[in-house]
Each structure stands twice: as C-alpha cells, then as structure tokens.
C-alpha cells in the first residue's frame, strides 16, 4: 500500500461566531508543539494471538454494504489480508428476460437494474436501440434526454454522498442531500408520472413531453441547489473526521485503475480523464461547456471531491440545456417505430394499423449489433444488443460499471483496517441491482 502525503487544511468544531457571523473553527486535537496532530499508534497485538488470522463475514444483509454484497475477509489483527467478494444474491436474469421481450418492453427492466439512475438507463438503452434501428431523434428529444441524464446523475450522486456520510458517521448532510433528491424526484414525477421506475423513454422519442411550467420549476431547482451544495461543502470537505476517515484509503494509481477497468468517478479520481461524454460523445455532449473533474491520488477523498464537482458540472449542463431547449415534436415522425398519438389511432385507419402492428408485433430493427456506452453516474454503462431481424433481441447485454468497479475491491481493501472496508466499499458507489442483474 502506497502512503499518501497530502495536506488538507482541516477545520474542526465551532465554539461560537466570529465578527462576520461565521462559525469559529478550532482544531480538535493539537500536539504539544502546536502544529501537527499526532495520533497514538494502536497497541501491539496480544503476543499469543499474533500471526493467527481470523475469517470474518460481512453481509449480505448488512446495510453498510449498500445492498446484498457479501465480503469474506481474512484479518490479521484488524488489518485486511485478503478479501473475497461474493455477489449474485440479487440475480434475476434481466438479460435472459430481455431476449423474450420487444425493445420497448425492455425499457422497464432498465429502470430496475441501477435504480438510482433509472431515467439515465432508459435513455442509454434507447440510444443503443436507436442505433440498431438506424434512426435519428428530434432536436427537442435530444435536449430532453440530456436533462434526464443529468437529473439522474444528480440523484445518484446525492444518494451516494448521503449514504456514504452515514457510513462514515455524519448524519446531517444526509438529510440535506435527501431533501434535494426529493426535489428532483418531484420534477421527475411531474414529467413522467413516476419517481423511481420512470420508464421515460421510447425507441424514437420520449413517453411524455414536459408539462406546462416544468422548465420554470427546474430553473428554480438549479438556482437553489448549488446553495445546498455549498452548505454540504462547508461541513464536509474540510471536516477533520471526514478527511481523517477518507484520505489515503483504497488508493489506486492511474495505470492500475485502467487495468482494473474502473470507470466514471472511480477512474477520474485516479487521474485518468476518461469521460464517455467527452471521449465518445453522444446526445451532442460535445457542444456543451463543462469540465471533467480529475483527482490525483485515487483515494476515497478524491472520489468524494470528483463526485462533488460533478454535481456542480451537472448543474452547468442543465442550465445550458434549458437555454437551448427547442420547441417542436419530441417523437420522430415514423409510426413504424413509435406509437401514433392515441387521438389519431382512434380516428385514422392508417394510424390504427400502425398502433395494432406495434403493440402486437413490435418494431423490427434490421440485422446488426450495437454497443452504446454512456457516462452513467457510476461509470461507463454500456448496452450491447444483437438483432437477427425479429422484434426481440437475440442478446441484450448490460455492461454494468459498478460490477467492474466492485471487482477491484480485493485490491483496494488489502492492507487497510476493517472499519475502512466500509468506507472503501461505500466509495465505489455500488448498486447491487446493476451488479447482479
């Protein structure tokens, strides 16, 4: 394990307010010379227990494993010597089921794999299906999808930060962040009618256009949201306990992180600026002005900083998307792929035929295959679809980012203390629904 030398200016508990009305900060522990904070070395292991390794089982029912993950740890004292993860407790065979469903019928399954990013998965899936069908969506639809993806990134990062705070021992940010998450869910509920399982997209368009006054509501959210972020930033980023419990943990170098296939904030925290939105753009992301935050040490603290900055960048993207949101149709004008409006289906013969054919048989893509990856909050989320010309895919494969990120956990926790395993595991931002599928 590499030691990390870095100084973070730590601000600790308050005694009162200063002249400007801000809380005064004093350090929690100061050494004799007044500068450095020294932590006493842990007592030596009892001699008779030295060299005896212990096997400990964490999960699958422990809330701190963020789902049904089971870790078997071999401990030397309190230090992890080896970690063997076990997954599969939530395996439901989504990919198998997908082979028996039409393309639009698969969209509800994408809600349920990474359920914190459900609307983002909906968009990612239809991007893959649309490439397979060879269709281009309308301009308004593209911008709406960008809004959907960034909102779901905000939800996912808020949940990650809130739950990680609880794992590490801070309760207050959790409440603040979940309040904001509630606001995003209120927006989604007005738009698509559901909060968690959105099923918001269709091949060739969206299930619904924005309701009246929705953009103003979103504008209010993106004006107020950065203030909450500033508050959380103030209580967390320089908090002594937070820094002490996250810095130097689970560090991965850039080469290691690439080799272990990490993606998303996990990879960027290690210093590799790989963001699918920038490197392999989709949904016209190359025309948006935003930064890709990159860390240096690849430890839990850097992952926190990267995700935190991504929240601010998502707000920037949302602002730009709102400004450029064009009028016009949301769905493409090809009723072989997308359902005609209900009013037309009940009044026009041709639309009724299209409606019937679509519901009974489903749209058929040509023979081919497509792999479309998007930058989900967890990393590179890919959908690989193979079509043999029928209305159901031959193979539907999900490339789950947290599955690959989690596979590096034995490397990340070895040499760390048992209590740090929880912090490192939390920093991966796993969703077991996506890992087990």
Partner 1 sequence: MNPTVDALREKFGAAIQRADVVWGETTVVVERTRVAEIVRWLHDDPGQSYVYLSDVTAVENRDVEQPLEVVWHLRSLAFRRFLRLKALLPKGTPLEVPSVFPIFKSADWMERECFDMFGVKFVGHPDLRRLLMWEGYKEGFPLRKDIPLLGRFSRAEQLRQALAANPEARYSKEELSIADAFEDLPQDMRARLRSGEKTGE
Rule CB under 8 A: which residues touch partner 1? Answer: 52-55, 70, 72, 74, 84, 86-88, 91, 93, 95-97, 100, 131-132, 134, 258-262, 272, 274, 279-280, 368-371, 373, 380, 382, 384, 386, 388, 394-395, 397, 399, 403-404, 406-408, 411, 436-437
* CA–CA distance, 251 with 247 (Å, rounded to integer): 9
Q: Which is nearer to partner 1, 227 or 395 (CB)?
A: 395
DSSP state of 11: B
Tell the smallest beta-carbon distance from residue 52 to partner 1 (Å).
6
Q: Which is nearer to partner 1, 42 or 88 (CB)?
A: 88
Residue 155 near residue 120, CB atoms below 8 Å? no
Tell the smallest beta-carbon distance from residue 54 to partner 1 (Å).
7
- Residue 149, classified by CB atoms within 10 Å of its CB into exposed (0-12), middle (13-18) or buried (19+), is buried
Residue 400 near residue 240, CB atoms below 8 Å? no
Angle between helices 418-427 and 300-324 (to 10 degrees): 20
Q: Which is nearer to partner 1, 187 or 404 (CB)?
A: 404
Q: Which is nearer to partner 1, 22 or 86 (CB)?
A: 86
SS3 of 266, please?
A: helix
Tell the smallest beta-carbon distance from residue 74 to partner 1 (Å).
6
* CA–CA distance, 144 with 28 (Å, rounded to integer): 48
Which pair of structure tokens corresponds to residue 20? Answer: 């400007």
Compute how many other C-beta atoms are within 10 angstroms of the C-beta atom of residue 26.
11
Tell the smallest beta-carbon distance from residue 46 to partner 1 (Å).
15
Tell the smallest beta-carbon distance from residue 139 to partner 1 (Å).
21
Q: Which is nearer to partner 1, 70 or 312 (CB)?
A: 70
Non-local CB neighbours of 354 within 8 Å, separated by 6+ positions: 335, 336, 339, 340, 345
Q: Which is nearer to partner 1, 86 or 342 (CB)?
A: 86
Tell the smallest beta-carbon distance from residue 408 to partner 1 (Å).
7
Q: Which is nearer to partner 1, 231 or 256 (CB)?
A: 256
User: How many degrees, rounded to 5, is the angle at CA 11 between CA 7 and CA 15?
Assistant: 160
Phi, psi of 415 (to 5 degrees): 90, -5
Tell the smallest beta-carbon distance from residue 268 to partner 1 (Å).
12
SS3 of 186, please?
A: helix
């Amino acid at each position: 394990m590499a030691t990390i030398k870095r100084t973070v200016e730590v601000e600790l508990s308050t005694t009162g307010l200063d002249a400007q009305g801000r809380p005064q900060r004093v350090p929690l522990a100061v050494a004799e010379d007044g500068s450095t904070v020294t932590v006493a070395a842990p007592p030596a292991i009892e001699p008779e227990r030295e060299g005896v390794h212990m096997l400990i089982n964490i999960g699958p029912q422990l809330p701190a494993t963020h789902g049904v993950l089971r870790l078997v740890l071999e401990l030397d004292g309190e230090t992890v010597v080896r970690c063997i993860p076990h997954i599969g407790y939530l395996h439901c065979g989504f990919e198998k089921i997908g082979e028996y469903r039409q393309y639009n019928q698969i969209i509800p399954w994408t809600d349920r794999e990474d359920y914190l990013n459900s609307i983002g998965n909906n968009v990612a899936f239809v991007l893959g299906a649309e490439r397979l069908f060879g269709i281009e969506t309308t301009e308004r639809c593209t911008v709406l999808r960008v809004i959907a993806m960034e909102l779901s990134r905000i939800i996912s990062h808020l949940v990650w930060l809130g739950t990680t705070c609880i794992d590490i021992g801070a309760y207050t940010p959790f409440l603040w962040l979940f309040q904001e998450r509630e606001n995003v869910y209120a927006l989604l509920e007005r738009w698509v009618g559901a909060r968690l399982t959105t099923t918001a997209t269709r091949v060739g368009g969206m299930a619904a256009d924005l309701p009246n006054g929705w953009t103003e509501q979103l504008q209010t959210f993106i004006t107020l949201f950065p203030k909450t972020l500033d508050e959380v930033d103030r209580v967390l980023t320089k908090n002594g306990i937070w820094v002490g419990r996250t810095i130097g943990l689970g560090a991965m170098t850039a080469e290691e992180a690439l080799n272990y296939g990490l993606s998303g904030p996990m990879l960027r925290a290690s210093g590799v600026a790989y963001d699918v939105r920038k490197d392999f753009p989709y949904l016209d992301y190359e025309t948006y002005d935003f930064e890709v935050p990159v860390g240096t040490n690849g430890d839990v603290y850097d992952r926190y900083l990267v995700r935190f900055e991504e929240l601010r960048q998502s707000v920037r993207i949302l602002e730009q998307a709102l400004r450029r949101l064009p009028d016009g149709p949301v769905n493409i004008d090809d009723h072989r792929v997308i359902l005609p409006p209900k009013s037309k289906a009940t009044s026009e013969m041709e639309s009724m035929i299209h409606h019937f054919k679509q519901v009974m048989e489903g749209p058929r893509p040509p023979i081919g295959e497509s792999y479309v990856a998007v930058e989900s909050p967890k990393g590179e989320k890919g959908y690989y679809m193979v079509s043999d010309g029928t209305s159901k895919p031959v193979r539907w494969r999900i490339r789950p980012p947290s599955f690959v990120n989690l596979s590096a956990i034995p490397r990340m926790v070895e040499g760390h203390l048992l209590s740090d395993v929880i912090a490192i595991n939390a920093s991966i931002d796993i969703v077991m629904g996506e890992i087990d599928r």
